[in-house]
Chain A
């Protein structure tokens, strides 16, 4: 693997919805320790872009490459390295936070030193671990989904509006975790309508529908 191909490379992708072009010719590379904030108005294609990069949707044109290989290529380890949390939290309301995280662990693995209880403690759900998620508040449900960030050893995090319905304390806990992640060489792609203040040295902003990355 050479340095030229390492990391996540988005190769002139286009996306349309209906007959409307959301963006076209979008081209960028993200390497270890970098943060990309995707901004734009409602309906400007932020979620579509993140779903394309995560491999859930196909771009109209172009490719997403990971370490020089298409992400859907059989030999790519992209999906081992990916953690995606979208609008839909991906948790089961009938299951308790512990049961939800056990499933996430069985699917995606976990850092050996981190335990599920520890992750729940970090997001402030200590004492709620055995209650079905249906009985938790909206913010607490969101925290269950985000507890995966404290469990995972993935390097690419794609988070769509992670701060939705979180309180100030939870936001600052998350930002600390983001800082730790980028300091460890992880990558972060994030959309948010709230101000994000991260410490990573290399941060970029993509203001859709413009396709040029600006350093922050």
Chain B
């Protein structure tokens, strides 16, 4: 009996979530980093309300972006080292679909906690409710893009011993559009302006990366495990 791809997709998400649960300490690291970076800013600059309010969108988004990069390491590394990645690539299911399952479960355990913590950090930075709402919305659209793009970079640098530096060089330039549109959307909403334009751009980036990134990642992984 040959199982369907959807069954394999769901089983893989479940397995990865279970693995993350058993490694929950490791998940905490990027999250702590996110919180610490944002809380250090008022200490390093000044605790004035106006200054923090102006900086808030940029600071929170940069911290979220760096936290996303920190968390990428756990995406394929363990699977590569214990040989389960080979087994995924050898299954008859579409490799891109299986890769998408891995990215989704990775986002659920790294992206979603960042979105949940964002309102708290927004309050630290004296953001008004309207700004916090937009911040969460942009994170909701933006963090999946970060996971998807990061997966391509991770796939390409997987076989290298010290791929970390190369990974940042590959991935950070591709993260910049997300940062620009998201931070500018939050800024605009703080100024009471319309944010539709930025959100459309983010949405387009999300659609583009959901459709293309898994394919690119699967191809990169194939080269990496050879």
Which A residues form the contact surface with B (CB < 8 A)? 51, 54-58, 77, 79-80, 82, 84, 86-95, 99, 102-112, 153
15 of the cross-chain contacts (CB-CB < 8 Å) are A56-B90, A79-B92, A82-B90, A84-B90, A86-B86, A88-B81, A90-B83, A91-B84, A92-B15, A94-B22, A105-B3, A106-B3, A107-B3, A107-B88, A110-B1
Residue in B11, B15, B81, B226 whose beta carbon sits within 8 Å of that of A95 in the complex: B15
Separation in Å of the A212 CB from the closest CB of chain B?
A: 27
Cα distance A46–B92 in the bound complex, in angstroms: 24
6 new A-B pairs (CB below 8 Å) besides A56-B90, A105-B3? A77-B92, A79-B91, A84-B86, A91-B84, A103-B11, A106-B3
Render B81-105 as a binary contact track against A, CB cut-off 8 A, 1 for contact.
1111011111111000000000000
The 10 closest A-B pairs by CB, nearest first: A88-B83, A106-B11, A79-B92, A90-B83, A90-B87, A80-B92, A107-B91, A109-B2, A94-B22, A57-B226
Query: Main secondary structure on chain A at its contact with chain B?
Result: loop
Is the C-beta of B220 less than 8 angstroms from some C-beta in chain A?
Answer: no
Is B23 in contact with chain A by the CB < 8 A criterion?
yes
In the complex, the chain B residue whose C-beta lies closest to that of A80 is B92
**Mask: chain B, 1-30; 1 = CB below 8 Å from A; 0 = not:** 111000110011001001100110000000
In residues 57-111 of chain B, which contact A (Cβ within 8 Å)? 81-84, 86-93
Chain B contacts for A153, CB-based, 8 A: 1
Contact B12 A103 (CB under 8 A): yes
Q: Once bound together, how far apart are the Cα atoms of A110 and B18, in whole Å? A: 22
Q: Nearest Cβ distance between residue B145 and chain A, in whole angstroms? A: 28
